[in-house]
Amino acid sequence: MKAPTTDDLLSVAQVRALLGVPQSTFYRWRQTGKGPRSIKLPNGAVRIRRSEFDRWLAELEECA
């Protein structure tokens, strides 16, 4: 498996694995606007750009 690049689309499962959070937490963050910006595909699947995930995580560091 190749390492993700900044343009890769991450699945919810991949983001959850990186963060170590349950699915319900991720979707609650998404619903309340506290999670990384996501893309909803026509098939209903949710994806997060790697660059957006990295930006969101860096923003959390600055707040801590």
Domain presence at residue 34 = yes
37 is in which domain, residue-wise?
9-63
pLDDT value at residue 44: 94
Domain presence at residue 58 = yes
Amino acid at 22: P
Position 17 pLDDT exceeds 60 = yes
Give the length of the chain: 64
Of 9, 2, 60, the closest CA to residue 38 belongs to 9
pLDDT value at residue 6: 64
Position 18 pLDDT exceeds 90 = yes
How much is the average pLDDT of 17-38? 95
Domain presence at residue 33 = yes
- 26 vs 42: CA distance, rounded Å: 20
Domain presence at residue 36 = yes
pTM, rounded to two decimals: 0.81
- 53 vs 36: CA distance, rounded Å: 6
Domain presence at residue 1 = no
Position 3 pLDDT exceeds 60 = yes
Indicate the pLDDT class of residue 8, thresholds 50, 70 and 90: very high
Q: What is the domain count for the chain?
A: 1
Instruction: Please compute, for residue 61, the number of CA atoms within 13 A of its CA located in the half-sphere on the CB side.
Output: 6
